Amino acid sequence: MRIPAWTDSSSSVRINGHALDAAGTPGSYLTITRVWRAGDRVELLMPMRLTVEPLPDEPTLKAFLYGPLVLAGQFAKGDLLGDLMHNQGPELEEATKVEVPALSAKNQRLEEWIKPVPGQGG
């Protein structure tokens, strides 16, 4: 089984309700060798964690992820017209720039300044 890199070391595996001693390392694979029977049930618990990654084409820009999900923020649209919101053509260059606030974490851990909204999952 693939253990994705976005999970953390607290991931766990249960077979038929019994925990395995090994759960695999994030970013690797876990091999389970046993005699399988019809009806065997494998449960893999993969807690998501918060990470930050530089964008491949612009390392000074960062993407924030929660597990495999890229986080996004909703900002004011300014004077951006509705037909330009999903258009990536040359006319977008002529649109009024939308001011997006800069984020500053001041060397804090991600979990200290990016938090789930209560009652909204996470």
Residues 85-111: tens digit of each pLDDT: 666 677 667 777 777 777 777 777 888
Residue 77's pLDDT band, with cuts at 50, 70 and 90, is low
pLDDT of residue 82: 66
Which pTM does this prediction carry?
A: 0.67
- Residues of the chain with pLDDT > 70, as a percent, come to 83
Can you read off the two tokens belonging to residue 34? Answer: 């046993």
Residue 16 near residue 41 (C-beta atoms within 8 A): yes
Burial degree of 14 (CB within 10 A; 0-12, 13-18, 19+): middle
Q: For the segment 5-53, what is each residue's pLDDT rounded down to a tens digit?
A: 999 888 899 999 999 988 788 999 999 999 999 999 999 999 988 888 8
Whole-number Å distance between alpha carbons of 52 and 90: 30
